[in-house]
């Protein structure tokens, strides 16, 4: 792999494209061809890139251009071509054919795809092109979310993979997770499994608070900077649908049924209520008559928005107090021993998260550290392995999973007692992700 001095970014006007270009220009010191449908769009991308890292110093390295006029020339002089166009084969494959004709041997080509087959996308290239073709799944916004899933396929060269991983890590400051070419890779597969199952449970318990109740139960004490259904609203219900529909079609694991999109999500999508970007979705912000902001949630049964209630759930208060004292094992002991529906739901989802995250070891990633890194740096969720320790160790975690009638992952079943299960190095301390 050559030294990366010149990069072409395709889709440079989008939030992800502009943000990624900024990272490459700022940390990689590379010249970046910013390509979009037309030059004016590319120029908009340059302004977004500069805004994303809040410095104008990268401007001289950002060169605007269009697909029609500049793609072949830009690609021919690039050491890395980073494609971030629309998430579909119909859009990506024709672009890849053009890149394949223009690239010089040894040029890295990668896609930011969050779930399409990397092997299929690599088919547009010759043997050298396949060897140098990867998924580089940055998370949004790239400046704040440092995860990059480096997705490999059978045609890759391990030496190139190693060098590319080192570049992404040491030069661009990414937390690199090496994943196999599987649906949604690691982070989204784990994250959207839990989010979609939370959405299913919200409908099941719609008469008890529904969406608001599930998010209250799955709040900060469960190791999440943002509750799951609030996350879906933030990401966009249309994006959520695209990810879980793909997973429902392409996976057949023990969690398969939990990837089926709830009907009320489709109803909201059909109305254009996609979440924060459209003004309302699962939640809606409004003002009371006296001018105060008020958060409403979508009542599934009533098909209307109503105020988010202030839930009084004692065990959550007690768990948050223990977390405030840095007693994470004590907090989980409270959750394990609590009575009532809310506690049952909390235990189930903690068990599900640990079970599903660790079940991907072997299929999607080679080690549990990779799924831990994906969730810690891509979602700001406390890694599953940390939960094993917080629950008291492998034996206690297995007990919780078994009671929830969920599969016990092989890597957990084989874990040795008395030894910390969470051993991730050089990543955010899982405990710092707990917000009371």
pLDDT at 427 over 80: no
CA distance 136 to 58: 22
Can you tell me whether residue 409 is helix, strand or coil? coil
Residue in the structure block whose two tokens are 């998260």: 353
pLDDT at 435 over 90: no
Phi and psi, residue 111, nearest 5°: -120, 150
Q: Above pLDDT 70, what percent of the chain? A: 97
The domains of the chain, with CATH numbers, are 6-180 (3.40.50.720), 187-433 (1.10.1040.50)
Mean pLDDT of the chain: 94
Q: Is 92 exposed, middle or buried (0-12, 13-18, 19+ CB in 10 A)?
A: buried
Greatest alpha-carbon span in the chain: 67
Among the residue ranges 74-78, 96-100, 355-359, 429-433, the one predicted with the least confidence is 429-433
- The tens digit of pLDDT for each residue in 187-199 reads 999 999 999 999 9
H or E element at residue 52: helix 39-53
**What strands lie across the sheet with 293-299, from one edge to the other?**
283-287, 293-299, 304-307
- The tens digit of pLDDT for each residue in 365-416 reads 999 999 999 999 999 999 999 999 999 999 999 999 999 999 999 999 999 8
pLDDT at 431 over 70: no
Is 418 or 295 the better-scoring residue by pLDDT? 295
pLDDT given at position 429: 42
Name the packing angle between helices 328-337 and 341-359 (round to 10°).
120
Token pair for residue 56? 């104008």
Token pair for residue 228? 């799951």
Can you tell me whether residue 35 is helix, strand or coil? strand
Strand runs labelled E in 243-394 = 283-287, 293-299, 304-307
The mean pLDDT value for 278-284 works out to 97
CA distance 419 to 202: 37
Angle 251-257-258 (CA atoms, 0-180°, nearest 5)?
95
pLDDT at 434 over 80: no
The mean pLDDT value for 219-229 works out to 94
pLDDT at 428 over 80: no
pLDDT given at position 424: 53
The mean pLDDT value for 1-15 works out to 95
The pTM (predicted TM-score) of the whole model is 0.91
The DSSP symbol for 433 reads G
Q: Is 140 exposed, middle or buried (0-12, 13-18, 19+ CB in 10 A)?
A: middle
One-letter-per-residue 3-state SS of 117-170: CHHHHHCCCCHHHHHCEEEEEECCCCCCCCEEEEECCCCCCHHHHHHHHHHHHH
CA distance 135 to 130: 12
Backbone dihedral region of 185: left (phi > 0), alpha (psi from -120 to 50 degrees) or beta?
left
The mean pLDDT value for 115-130 works out to 96
Token pair for residue 242? 């695209």
pLDDT at 131 over 70: yes
pLDDT given at position 99: 98
């Amino acid at each position: 792999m050559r030294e990366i001095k010149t990069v072409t970014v395709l889709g440079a006007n989008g939030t992800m494209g502009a943000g990624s270009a900024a990272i490459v220009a700022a940390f990689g010191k590379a010249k970046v061809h910013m390509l979009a449908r037309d030059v004016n769009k590319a120029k908009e991308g340059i302004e977004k890139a500069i805004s994303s890292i809040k410095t104008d110093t990268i401007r001289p390295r950002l060169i605007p251009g269009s697909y029609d006029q500049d793609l072949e020339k830009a690609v021919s002089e690039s050491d890395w071509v980073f494609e971030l166009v629309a998430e579909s084969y119909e859009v990506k494959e024709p672009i890849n054919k053009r890149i394949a004709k223009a690239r010089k041997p040894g040029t890295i080509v990668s896609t930011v795809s969050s779930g399409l087959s990397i092997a299929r996308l690599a088919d547009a290239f010759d043997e050298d092109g396949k060897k140098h073709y990867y998924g580089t799944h940055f998370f949004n916004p790239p400046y704040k979310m440092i995860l990059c899933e480096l997705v490999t396929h059978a045609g890759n060269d391990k030496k190139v993979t190693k060098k590319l991983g080192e570049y992404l890590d040491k030069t661009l400051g990414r937390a690199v997770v090496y994943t196999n070419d599987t649906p949604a890779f690691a982070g989204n597969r784990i994250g959207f499994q839990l989010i979609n199952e939370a959405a299913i449970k919200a409908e099941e318990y719609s008469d008890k608070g529904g969406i608001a109740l599930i998010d209250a139960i799955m709040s900060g004490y469960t190791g999440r900077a943002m509750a799951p259904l609030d996350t879906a609203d933030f990401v966009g219900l249309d994006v959520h649908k695209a990810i879980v529909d793909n997973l429902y079609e392409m996976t057949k694991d023990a969690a398969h049924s939990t990837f089926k999109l709830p009907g009320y999500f489709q109803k909201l999508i059909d109305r254009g209520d996609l979440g924060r970007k459209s003004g309302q979705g699962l939640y809606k912000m409004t003002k009371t008559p006296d001018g105060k902001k008020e958060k409403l949630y979508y009542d599934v049964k009533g098909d209307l928005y109503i105020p988010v209630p202030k839930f009084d759930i004692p065990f959550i208060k007690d768990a948050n107090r223990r977390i405030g004292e840095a007693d994470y094992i004590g907090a989980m002991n409270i959750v394990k021993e609590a009575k009532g529906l809310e506690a049952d739901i909390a235990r189930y989802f903690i068990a599900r998260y640990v079970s599903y995250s660790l079940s991907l070891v072997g299929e999607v990633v080679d080690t549990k550290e990779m799924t831990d890194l994906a969730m810690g740096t891509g979602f700001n969720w406390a890694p599953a392995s940390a939960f094993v320790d917080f629950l008291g160790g492998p034996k206690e975690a297995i007990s919780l999973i078994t009671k929830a009638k969920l599969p016990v992952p092989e890597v957990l079943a084989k874990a040795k007692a008395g030894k910390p299960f969470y051993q991730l190095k050089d990543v955010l301390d899982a405990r710092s992700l707990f917000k009371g």
